[in-house]
């Protein structure tokens, strides 16, 4: 405990790191405030009564988890950051098939700026479309004992227009705040916004479990078993996200003038899960789309029967969700780590993998290893992500099941580790011990 206290003191000794952390916390506070500002025109008392009588064991409950309760509150941040993620997915997938996007990806920093700008425009379009659906098809259908949450005198074009504008502006504002955290704060801004929303729902999930135990619905022994399993899952997530396979690289000796270069062996660390939590976030954003679209047609019997296949706890949903996680794990790994670039850089610097020719064969060798170690990591992510669907069958409350393994726990652990690693790097740069203790520091000295 003393070591942790010392580390926190060291964090606040570094002016830049302290400013970054406080800046990040300030923006996250704004995010939470926006999740409780209800859209104008909605009767908050009726909304509160209506929401208290609805279940969270469905896909809308899961979406509400990602936006930290803003969806249940009909808040200006009800759409969350999901439209931005959807726009990012569309452009990144388009980069694999659209020549213009491929050209932008190869242009370096300038190309990335143009893609970022296109992502912002796409976010506005997707947000406006989703906001229109919520304002015209979702909110008018919510009522408590026949009393609608939108008073009759308020309903109409004026309410729809204001709701669309506010919901769209809320998403754009959250997108901007996420970018500001990434640039001026600590950690990945978009991931942290989702992270803080999930954390906000955790006390309510624990309260649901406590009520079940106090009423005798849940056996305390079963609860302890569930918590023990959760600990093992967290340990597994940490191992998968931090596990690496090291490839030795030999650098030949070169004599330039009187100086000798090379003659050493270094290692390329290949992570088991290079993509981190992004495949989970991407796959979840895609899985929200069918149910959202189908919910806009409550009177169509065929579409409503089709929506049964996309229920959060259905086998079809879990199977498609798992496949998408595996796909996005490979897809995002290919974006984050390019074996061809690594092989070319090694060749330029006079490095080679023992027994492998430099150039194309080295690239293929690295790609082959990366493919093999990514497979078990992606399968593990998929299994843990769909686990809540099966846990809920045991009678666990929907809120708590979403925290037991699954998407929420993966994001919480992944984002926390990523943020701590960034804090650690700031500490080590200034010769302070970090959270991982002094093993790294002694090795560097």
User: Which residues does 381 contact at the CB level (< 8 Å), separation at least 6?
Assistant: 240, 273, 279, 280, 325, 326, 329, 410
In the chain, the N- to C-terminal Cα span, in Å, equals 25
Q: How confident is the model at residue 440 (pLDDT cuts 50, 70, 90)?
A: very low
pLDDT of residue 69: 83
* Residue 341 pLDDT: 81
To the nearest whole number, what is the mean pLDDT of the chain? 79
Domain hosting residue 387, numbered range: 2-444
Mean pLDDT calculated for residue range 95-116: 83
Phi, psi of 274 (to 5 degrees): -65, -30
Closest among 277, 281, 272 to 376, alpha carbons compared: 272
The answer to whether the beta carbons of residues 193 and 174 sit under 8 Å apart is: yes
Place of tokens 């992510």: 381
Cβ neighbours of residue 220 closer than 8 Å, sequence gap 6 or more: 213
User: Nearest 5°: CA angle at 265, between 261 and 269?
Assistant: 125
- Calpha distance 271→422 (Å, rounded): 17
Confidence of residue 442 (pLDDT cuts 50, 70, 90): very low
Between 38 and 373, residue with greater pLDDT: 38
In the structure encoding, which two tokens stand for residue 339, read together? 């074996």
**pLDDT by residue (tens digit) across 16-70?**
888 999 999 999 999 999 999 999 999 888 888 888 766 555 566 667 777 888 8
**In 185-277, alpha helices (H):** 189-214, 220-242
pLDDT tens-place string over residues 111-161: 888 989 999 999 999 999 989 988 887 788 888 888 888 988 888 889 999
Task: Specify the number of domains making up the chain.
Answer: 1
Angle at CA of residue 87, ends 84 and 93, nearest 5°: 140
Measured CA to CA, the distance from residue 190 to residue 207 in angstroms comes to 28
pLDDT tens digits along 278-310: 788 788 778 877 776 776 676 777 777 777 777
Tell me the two tokens of residue 20: 């970054």
User: Are 247 and 270 within 8 A, CB to CB?
Assistant: yes
Helices vs strands, H then E, count in the chain: 18, 7
Q: pLDDT value at position 109?
A: 79
- Which pLDDT score is estimated for 259? 57
Give the CATH number of the domain where residue 133 resides: 1.10.3370.10
Share of the chain above pLDDT 70, in %: 80
Q: What is the mean pLDDT of residues 1-16?
A: 75
pTM equals 0.75
Query: 151 and 137 in contact (C-beta within 8 Å)?
Result: no
Residue 418 tokens, joined: 């990523």
| Mean pLDDT, residues 316-341 taken together | 85
Backbone angles phi, psi at 38, to 5 degrees: -75, 150
Hey, is 430 helix, strand or coil?
A: coil
């Amino acid at each position: 405990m003393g070591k942790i206290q010392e580390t926190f003191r060291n964090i606040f000794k570094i002016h830049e790191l302290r400013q970054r952390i406080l800046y990040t916390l300030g923006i996250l506070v704004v995010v939470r405030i926006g999740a409780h500002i209800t859209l104008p025109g909605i009767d908050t008392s009726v909304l509160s009564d209506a929401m208290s009588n609805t279940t969270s064991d469905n896909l809308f409950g899961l979406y509400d988890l990602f936006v930290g309760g803003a969806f249940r509150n009909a808040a200006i941040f009800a759409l969350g950051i999901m439209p931005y993620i959807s726009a990012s997915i569309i452009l990144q997938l388009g980069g694999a098939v659209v020549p213009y996007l491929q050209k932008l990806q190869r242009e370096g920093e300038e190309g990335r700026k143009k893609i970022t700008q296109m992502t912002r425009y796409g976010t506005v379009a997707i947000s406006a479309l989703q906001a229109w659906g919520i304002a015209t098809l979702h909110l008018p259908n919510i009522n408590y004992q026949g009393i609608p949450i939108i008073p009759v005198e308020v309903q109409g074009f004026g309410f729809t227009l204001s709701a669309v504008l506010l919901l769209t502006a809320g998403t754009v504002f959250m997108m901007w705040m996420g970018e500001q955290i990434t640039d001026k704060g600590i950690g990945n801004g978009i991931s942290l916004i989702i992270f803080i929303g999930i954390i906000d729902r955790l006390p309510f999930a624990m309260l649901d479990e406590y009520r079940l135990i106090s009423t005798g619905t849940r056996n305390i022994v079963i609860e302890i078993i569930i918590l023990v399993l959760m600990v093992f899952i967290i340990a597994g997530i940490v191992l998968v996200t931090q596990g690496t396979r090291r490839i030795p690289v030999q650098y030949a000796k070169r004599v330039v003038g009187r100086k000798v270069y090379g003659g050493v062996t270094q290692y390329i660390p290949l992570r088991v899960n290079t993509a981190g939590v992004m495949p989970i976030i991407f796959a979840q954003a895609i899985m929200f789309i069918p149910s959202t679209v189908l919910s806009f047609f409550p009177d169509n019997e065929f579409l409503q029967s089709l929506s049964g296949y996309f229920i959060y706890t259905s086998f079809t949903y879990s199977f498609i969700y798992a496949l998408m996680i595996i796909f996005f794990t490979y897809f995002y790994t290919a974006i984050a780590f390019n074996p061809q670039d690594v092989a070319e850089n090694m060749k330029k610097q006079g490095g080679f993998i023992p027994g492998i020719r430099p150039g194309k064969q080295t690239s293929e060798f690295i790609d082959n290893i990366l493919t093999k170690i990514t497979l078990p990591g992606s399968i593990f992510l998929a299994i843990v992500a769909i686990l809540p669907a099966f846990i809920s069958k045991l009678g666990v409350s929907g809120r708590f099941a979403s925290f037991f393994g699954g998407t929420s726990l993966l994001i919480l652990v992944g984002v926390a580790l990523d943020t701590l690693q960034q804090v650690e790097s700031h500490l080590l740069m200034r010769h302070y011990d970090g959270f991982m203790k002094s093993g790294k520091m002694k090795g560097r000295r």
